[in-house]
Structure 1
Amino acid sequence: MTSEHPYPAAFRSGDLVSVSGRLGVTETGELVPGGFDAECAQAFANLDAALESVGASRTDVVKVVAYLTDITDRSALNAVYEGFFAESRPARSCIGAASLPYGGVVEVEALARVRDV
């Protein structure tokens, strides 16, 4: 996502990381073509990038909130979610939303805890 937003993609405070809502958009702010599955995969790729920007990874995620403009897409979200979090599946909430920025159909945010090894 572009840097036009007044908030960071991710914010780290000690071992806690909060990731702002990630949409299925490219770095230029364009929605990826291909419908829900493509947008969802891109949103999770953007979540990955935000986590990496503050020294975290998907294995550190403990909670995900997903917003869907069509709650019947929950099964499709589950398929992408299971593939993305193959190693561990954090807690997740799924919320129906009337609309999302850029006309997106899915947005994900996350909370992570970075554990020192």
Structure 2
Amino acid sequence: MTRKIIHSDHAPKAIGPYSQAVRCGNTVYLSGQTPIDPATGKLVEGSIEVQTTRIFENLKAVVSAAGGSFEQIARVGIYLTDLANFAEVNKVMASYFSEPYPARSTIGVSQLPLGSQVEIDAILVLDQA
């Protein structure tokens, strides 16, 4: 199966040897996004809600570059350095998705790249071409 690299200039550039997303058939695997402002390349400051919103906007840019929408996201993975932020992240996620919601996991981790408090990845399933 051929892999197609997906890239958006409206999302942060990769900070390592990986792509923003890779399409295999009709499935798009989105790399984890941290709350990096694509215009500055720096982490946004502010509450966990502000940071999570930046991440979902970054993901939205990559999903759009893949030709999809959030309604086609099948799975979301959330990584938090403090699980006490779970409710706030849920609130932001609920503003981007509606029922039926994607599958999801939320995992507590000790650290994330660049000192981020939250990272989110996703799997998008596009309609048959």
TM > 0.5 fold call: yes
Say whether the 8 Å CA contact 2:13–2:20 is kept in structure 1: no
Residue 4 of structure 1: how far off its partner (Å): 4.5
Please, which of 56, 62, 73 is the counterpart of residue 61 of structure 1? 73
Question: SS state of the match for residue 33, structure 1?
Answer: coil
Aligned to 1:94: 106
Say whether the 8 Å CA contact 1:10–1:53 is kept in structure 2: no
Once the two structures are aligned, what percentage of the paired residues are identical? 34
Could you report, residue by residue, the CA deviation over 1:25-81 in whole angstroms, capped at 9, with x for unpaired residues?
A: 111321112121111000111111111122122111000000000011111111011
Asked if 1:11 is matched to 2:1, the reply is: no
Residue 3 of structure 1: how far off its partner (Å): 4.4
CA RMSD of superposed structures (Å): 1.5
Structure 2 CA distance for partners of 1:29 and 1:37, relative to 1, 3 Å: same
TM normalised by structure 1 equals: 0.92
Please, which of 14, 36, 53 is the counterpart of residue 41 of structure 1? 53
Q: In structure 2, give the amino acid aligned to 1:6.
A: P
Question: SS state of the match for residue 48, structure 1?
Answer: helix
Residue 7 of structure 1: how far off its partner (Å): 1.3
Extract structure 1 runs of 4+ deviating beyond 4 A. none
Q: In structure 1, give the amino acid aligned to 2:32.
A: G
Question: SS state of the match for residue 42, structure 1?
Answer: helix
* Alignment coverage as a number of residue pairs: 117
Identify unmatched segments of 5+ residues in structure 1: none
If asked which structure has higher relative contact order (CA below 8 Å, sep 6+), I would say 1
Structure 2 distance, partners of 1:4, 1:17, is 20
Residue 87 of structure 1: how far off its partner (Å): 5.3
Q: In structure 1, give the amino acid aligned to 2:23.
A: R
Question: SS state of the match for residue 51, structure 1?
Answer: helix
Structure 2 CA distance for partners of 1:64 and 1:3, relative to 1, 3 Å: closer
Aligned to 1:105: 117
Structure 1 distance, partners of 2:92, 2:66, is 23
Q: In structure 1, give the amino acid aligned to 2:102.
A: P
